Amino acid sequence: MRIDREEKAARAEALFREGYNCAQSVVLAYVQEMGLEMQTAARLSSGFGGGLGGLRGVCGAVSGMAMVYGMLRGYDRPEEKEGKKAEYAAIQRMAERFREAEAAIDCRPLLERAGIDPANMPSERDPEYYAKRPCPRLVREAAAMLADELNA
C-alpha cells in the first residue's frame, strides 16, 4: 500500500493546529495504517511532545516518526536482531534527513533558532503561537519524510 506523502503532511499539520503536540500530530496522521484508535494513539504519544514532556530533547515530530515506523515495520521479539538493525537504520535515516533540513533534531535548538524561549511548560495556543512556532512546518516535514521511508 502506497502512502500519500502530501496527504499525511497536511494531516499532521492540521492535527497540530487543532492542539495536538508534535508527536501526537505525526502519530495521529498515521492512525489508520497502524490500526489504532485515535484515543489510544493520542495517549501513547502524548508524553513525547515538547521534546519528551517539555524537556526539549528529541523533537516530538522525530519521536512520532520513530513510533509510527515501529508500529508498522518494527520488530517484536528480542531474537530479531536483523529486524532491530533494520529498524534502527530506518530511524537513523529519517532523523538524519530531518537534521539536514532543520540543522537539529532536538526541540531546544529548533525553538531557539526561531527566536522562541524553550520554556519547559506548554505555551498557550493562540494565533501568535502558530505564527511564531516552527512546529506546524516540522510536523509536516516529519510526516512526509516518514511516508518516503515507508514507501521506499
pLDDT the model gives residue 117: 86
pLDDT the model gives residue 60: 98
Mean pLDDT over the full length of the chain: 96
Spatial separation of the C-alpha atoms in residues 133 and 124, rounded to whole Å? 12
Cell 505555551, residue? 123
What nine digits make up the cell of 97? 534527513
Q: Is the pLDDT of residue 80 over 90?
A: yes
Q: Is the pLDDT of residue 101 over 90?
A: yes
Spatial separation of the C-alpha atoms in residues 59 and 113, rounded to whole Å? 14
pLDDT the model gives residue 119: 84
pLDDT the model gives residue 123: 83
User: DSSP letter at 30?
Assistant: T
CA–chain centroid gap for 60, Å, is: 5
pLDDT digits (tens, 9 = 90+) for 103-112: 999 999 999 9
pLDDT the model gives residue 10: 98
Beta bridge partners of 58: 106
Spatial separation of the C-alpha atoms in residues 3 and 26, rounded to whole Å? 14
Q: Is the pLDDT of residue 77 over 90?
A: yes
pLDDT the model gives residue 26: 98
Q: At what angle do helices 135-151 and 60-73 cross, to 10 degrees?
A: 20
Q: Worst-scoring range by mean pLDDT, 78-87, 114-123, 134-143?
A: 114-123
pLDDT the model gives residue 121: 80
Helix (H, G, I), strand (E, B) or coil at 58: strand
pLDDT bracket for residue 146 (50, 70, 90): very high
Spatial separation of the C-alpha atoms in residues 120 and 50, rounded to whole Å? 8
Q: What H or E segment, with its residue span, contains residue 101?
A: helix 81-102
pLDDT the model gives residue 136: 97
The answer to whether residues 101 and 65 touch, using CB atoms and an 8 Å cutoff, is no
